[in-house]
Structure 1
Amino acid sequence: MAVRFIPCDAVIGAEGGGVSLRQLPDAVTIEAVEEGLEHYGGLIFRAQEITPEEQVAWSRALGPLALTQRVGARLPHLPEIFIVGNTIDPPVTFSPKTEQDDLEWHTDHIHHEITARASMLVAKATPSHGGDTLFACMYTAYDHLSPDQKATVDGLRVIHSVSGLRAYLRGQGHEATANQPYEKPDIAVERPLVRHHPRTGRKALYFGSHITVGVVGWHEDQARRFIRDLTAHACQPAFQYRHQWQVGDAVLWDNRRVLHAGTLYDMERETRLMHRTTFQETEELRP
């Protein structure tokens, strides 16, 4: 069956058909997935009842995989699987404390020496309410800046550090998660705020609402206000797709042009378990 994509009713996202994650993709399927990934930003594959081994094998066919630096959150017999949810101690969560709190918008591994070009979550257990994931299109966010704003952001370099994520998690009451050790020491990484997608050359904003902790050459307070205002613009509802998870859903997204954020769920009474594979960046970022 040929691969096909049906666009979601949003500026981003498409449901994919003709793809089984149980079967290793051939060259035609890989090219179709890569093209769809850039074009739509996120691809949803429903009813994928797969094992962790099958998830890793399918993911590896698309390119090299990266391991999470949170050693305690790796699946013990298959470290390429990053366990996201509240089934391990401490839990891995990026969710706010209340509906009124800020979301933690980010693109995976932006604070690492080598970033992530894409990620895939497979839902293994979902809460009865909440726990959705929001995805925001950074092509659209950049395109809707004014000419003066584009001139400003095109010339900026920003600083990313896990210290920003840790501060957010502490503020949401996730103290144990915030203190979870990483395999490597925390570092600060400097990158352009605007990146060109290596497949098309299109410009996208490339930052995170909390993982981005500074702007090169700016005062800390000025940088914080700027990132807050940029997040409000870039992640506004009109630029979003909301995914309401069902067990067996697999969502693959392009970290080069998409931000995502987890939403609130009752961690005390509900179970949420996701298995993530993370695709290592293979292209150099250019200003």
Structure 2
Amino acid sequence: MDESDEQATDLEDAFEAAAAIVASIAGSDSLKTDALLHLYGLYKQATSGPCDTFRPSFFDRKARAKWAAWKRLRELPSDEAKLQYIGLVKSACPDYDGAQQGKPRGGGPGGPVFSSLADGPEDSQNGPPLGSLHLLASEDDLPALTFLLDNGADINQRDDEGCTALHWAADRGSMQALKLLVSRGAALNAKDADGQTPMHYAALSEHEEACAALVKAGADPSLRDSAGKRPEDVDDHAAAWGLWQAHHSDDAC
């Protein structure tokens, strides 16, 4: 075995030992939710590569948080993800021993079971009822959406997560619904429970057309969510879109 192969084996052993430690403390309070999410993202990036799945539905907030934690790391090389994972475990778990052997327990496609972040049925969040304004907006059902608005539906009604129908349309890239809601006076800068606007949702789901339409309608791309991120900050690919540069140029004038 040459030196590079030996180093790769050592890294893999240390990574598996770190993952085993995380699995062994699942259900305890040793790791905060933010740390668990970051570990999940690093684990998935290290073992499965870049996130290539669709953003989960509104009904599963835990799955959406895990998806976002993995997706934001998609440019990170696998070995670097393993190194960062090991480093985070070392700093967060004093009992970690890099020489410890053993594979992660309670795995599955998500790797170690991360207690409250584990895959499975979501708590009692059933989402809006069939035919509701939010659901129709996400499905781009223009006739039904128009009917509800014409008959007095509150265009800025919030769901359990603080989202408006415009959030839903932006998240799904439902352009007909988005344009209708905008034309009817939907709140362009409404924030959900995490401080994210419809434009944040569109950017994270990589719907450039939706973001551009919101900017054109007067939505503010400089607004930050509760984590301090603007829409352009929530996704590496979205950050490269020209519409942000145009806005910054306008600010500089």
Q: Which has the higher helix share?
A: 2
TM-score by length of 2: 0.24
Higher relative contact order (CA 8 A, sep 6+): 1
- Which has the higher Rg, Structure 1 or Structure 2? 2
Q: Which has the higher strand share?
A: 1
